[in-house]
Amino acid sequence: MSAMSRRRILFGGAAVGAGALLTACTSNTPATDAQVKTDTSGNANAAAGKKVVIGFSAPAADHGWIAAITNNAKAQAAQYSDVELRLVEAGSDAAAQRAALATLIGQKPDVLVMLPHDGKELDATALEAMRAGIPVVNLDRAFPSQAAYRLQLKGDNYGMGLAAGHYIGEQLKAKGATTPIIGEIPGIDSLELTQQRSAGFAAALAEYGFKVANRRPAEFTADSGQAAATALLQALPKMDALWNHDDDQGIGVLAAVKQANRSEFFMVGGAGSKTAIDTITKDDTVLKATVTYSPSMASSAISLARLIGQGKGLSDLVELQVPKDITLASETITKDNAAKYAKLGF
Amino acid sequence: MITETALPEVRERKRVRLDEGVVRNLGLVGVLAILMIIGAVTRPELYGDATWVKNNIFTILQQASAIGVVTVGMTFVLIGGGVDLSVGAIIALAGVWSTTLATQSYGPLGMVFTALVVGVVVGLINGVLISYGKLVPFIATLAMLVAARGLAAQISGKQTQISADATINGIATTKILGIPLLVLILAAVVVAGWVLLNRTTFGRRTVAVGGNPEAARLAGINVKRHTVLLYALSGLCCGIGAIMLTSQATSAQAAMANLYELDAIAAAIIGGTLLSGGRGTIVGALFGVLVFSTITNLFAINNLSTEAQNMVKGGIIVAAVLIQQFRYRSITQLFKR
């Protein structure tokens, strides 16, 4: 090969690469699919009120769920003419988030919404904001101190496990199974949320006299899901049901199921991603249901932060203020109700 | 058998030794055999089924394929006296870049080409920073680890990018003459790596550069250029690994191939590669990867926790390095000290 043609290949590669980089922002899942509440007809709270500056901080996104949290917060804030969102990147760890929040608190926003890296580590920072008279809305990861937040809005990890367990239990009971073989693929096992999900799952299965036969944790990524599922399928040559905690890693789990040519069982997902809901609707894989843990909570957090800032309550409640603790229910999405949830997929 | 007959001879005349690499590889084969036997004893009902056993061996090999390819590249870098901490990040960047909608529109060849080019280019940058920028390999590749994962997250918009390409996804399901394609790719890379290391000037230069860079330079080897090539080779292996992993997961994302750098280094080390450079074998590295993959399999079929699995893996790394040290001093000498 002459030096000239070799150079041509190199430049060609560089050109292709540059082209790919330029168009890279058109990712597979466009960020425009945010979950926002727009239907506000006839709601007194919808009318523009006092201007509210909301500070927002969430960890740098490393997977789809966290990315959706930030996107949802931005999109929901854009719905209100009376809300100004001040967003700070929380960086990659709790220390970086503390530093970012210190700056944000210094700007005196009316309300502070944050998804902490770790509730325990950000507890003091939240207390400081509360003492400075800034109401704090905690998203999903609780602070140990009750005084550190005005509102806590979180998903229900234990309930998610319960929902998955009940769905699997009911399905297997209907089939007349007495000693079914049930597999479980959790996410990162050292996280408290994973342990809560697994505890809920085991508790629900126990009601039917069932238990988990094998459990292989993944890491919330598709490739780790593929590896965990491959190992699980190898360990259980015959399986009746499988719960995979996270739909993102579920892409890899479904790939592994296909690669192993297995179809004798049904699978339940977790979180409720758009891809998973589409797959359930099409009904051409083992994935028959998913239990939600929706990042739409970020949209709701912004709406509630606005109400807190304006001193308004929830219109259907008697109380004049927004409640202090809200735990979202985990819902089960199947083929029958998938259409209703399609817009909530992330 | 060979070790048994050879042992007394070694004791009597210390000068005469079996080829170290052969002994080590036999040891690793022994470890693999022991792991298999433990599997058969603990789950006899699974191991009693011949189809399952055949399937299981292919599964172990398939799960070792991507990391195996990366380990071959890593072994070259380690023998050459360097270290590449960015392999997992390069896989993520190459995987993400080759699965953007734009790249996917170029078809499977475009995706493979992009992954390989991204791998090689990132490897070249590593090499140039280390050779000509005089950065310590640890620092240069650590910086690349952070930067490449960052760029991957930027490109992917922090989302999991699904590969819609049937050809790419088909790599993981294709079998040729009953052997999975992923396993054949691993075999091809291992054979190519072995030939490159043991039968070419490039291989001999790698050993020379890693063993004593100054002597290599005085012997007329362009050490800087050679180092750049070693990191580019590692990057190329990561590009291949990225396609394999993307095919298995039918998707790519910035967090993929998490901690592959540690797995690859550990596999190379227990395969007999010196961290200080100058010595190492491709076959040993392959066995190292297979040992880890087999342990994962063994723990899975017995439903044991991954925490215990990681502790055993750590123990095996320590044991391998300890054995490596014992080879230079006899046990008696060690106790005398």
Angle at A133 between CA A127 and CA A134, to 5 degrees: 75
Confidence category of residue A341, pLDDT binned at 50, 70, 90: confident
* Closest by Cα among A234, A315, A330, A306 to A78: A306
Who contacts A300 (Cβ-Cβ below 8 Å, separation ≥6)?
A: A37, A76, A153, A326
pLDDT of residue A42 exceeding 70, the answer is no
Q: Given this model, what pLDDT does residue B323 score?
A: 77
- The per-residue pLDDT for A40 is 59
Residue ranges, chain B, pLDDT below 70? 1-20, 327-337
pLDDT over 70 at A87, yes or no: yes
Q: Which of B64, B168, B161 has its CA nearest to residue B112? A: B168
Residue B218's domain comprises 22-39+60-327
Q: Is B17 within the bounds of a domain? A: no
Residue A12: what pLDDT?
52
Query: A255 and B257: CB-CB below 8 Å?
Result: no
Residue B332's identity, in one-letter code, is T
Q: Which residues of B touch A229 (CB under 8 A)?
A: none
User: Which of the residues A223, A258, A274, A285 would you substitute to probe the B interface, choosing the one with the greatest number of B C-beta atoms within 10 Å?
Assistant: A223
Tokens representing B183 are 């396993």
Structural domain contains residue B337: no
The residue-averaged pLDDT of A106-120 equals 91
Q: How far is CA B126 from CA A6, B139, B230, in A?
A: 21, 10, 10
In sequence order, what are the beta bridge partners of A326?
A153
In a domain, B256, yes or no: yes
Cβ of A20 and B114 within 8 Å?
Answer: yes
- Partners of residue A25 in chain B, C-beta under 8 Å: 157
pLDDT digits (tens, 9 = 90+) for A144-198: 999 999 999 999 999 999 999 999 999 999 999 999 999 999 999 888 889 999 9
- B278 assigned to some structural domain: yes
pLDDT tens per residue across span B221-276: 999 999 999 999 999 999 999 999 999 999 999 999 999 999 999 999 999 898 88
pLDDT in tens, B277-291: 999 999 999 999 999
Q: What is the ipTM, given to two decimal places?
A: 0.87
For residues B119 and B241, give the distance between their C-alpha atoms in angstroms, rounded to a whole number: 10
Has residue B101 been placed in a domain? yes
Token pair, residue B9, equals 């001879």
Smallest CA-to-CA distance from A243 within A256, A231, A229 is with A229
CB contact under 8 A, A28 and B296: no
**Does any domain span residue B3?**
no
- Chain centroid, CA B271 distance in Å: 10
CA-to-CA distance for B261 and A146, rounded, in angstroms? 42
Domains annotated for chain A, with CATH where assigned, are 48-155+295-312 (3.40.50.2300), 157-292 (3.40.50.2300)
Q: A222, B160: Cβ pair inside 8 Å?
A: yes
- Domain count for chain B, please give it: 1
Cβ contact B297–A234 (<8 Å): yes
Beta carbons of B100 and A20 less than 8 Å apart: yes
- The residues, any chain, with a CB within 8 Å of residue A153's CB and separated by 6 or more, are A137, A138, A139, A140, A297, A300, A301, A304, A326, A328
Whether A27 has a pLDDT exceeding 70, the answer reads no
Q: Is residue B46 part of a domain?
A: no
- Count of C-beta atoms within a 10 Å radius of residue A9: 12
Please give the pLDDT value at position A66. 83
What is residue A260's three-state secondary structure?
coil
Buried b (16+ CB within 10 A) or exposed e, A26-44: ebbbebeebbbeeeeeeee
Q: pLDDT, tens digit, for every residue of A196-239? A: 999 999 999 999 999 999 999 999 999 999 999 999 999 999 99
The more confidently predicted of residues A60 and B149 is B149
Q: Say yes or no for a CB contact (<8 Å) between A231 and B249.
A: no
Is residue A252 within 8 A of residue A278, CB to CB? The reply is no
CATH assignment of the domain containing B67: 1.10.3470
Higher-confidence position of A43 and A206: A206
Residue pairs between chains A and B whose CB atoms are closer than 8 Å: 156
Residue B181 lies in a domain: yes
pLDDT band at A108 (very low <50, low <70, confident <90, very high): very high
Measured CA to CA in angstroms, residue A345 lies from A38, A83, A223, A291 at distances of 16, 25, 21, 11
Per-residue pLDDT tens for A240-285? 999 999 999 999 999 999 999 999 999 999 999 989 999 999 999 9
Query: Given B114, B173, B301, which is nearest A17 (Cβ)?
Result: B114
C-beta separation of A290 from A246 below 8 A: no
Q: Return d(Cα B242, Cα A254) in angstroms, integer.
A: 19
Whole-number average pLDDT of chain A? 87
Residues in A touching B170 (Cβ below 8 Å): none
**Residue A142 scores a pLDDT above 80:** yes
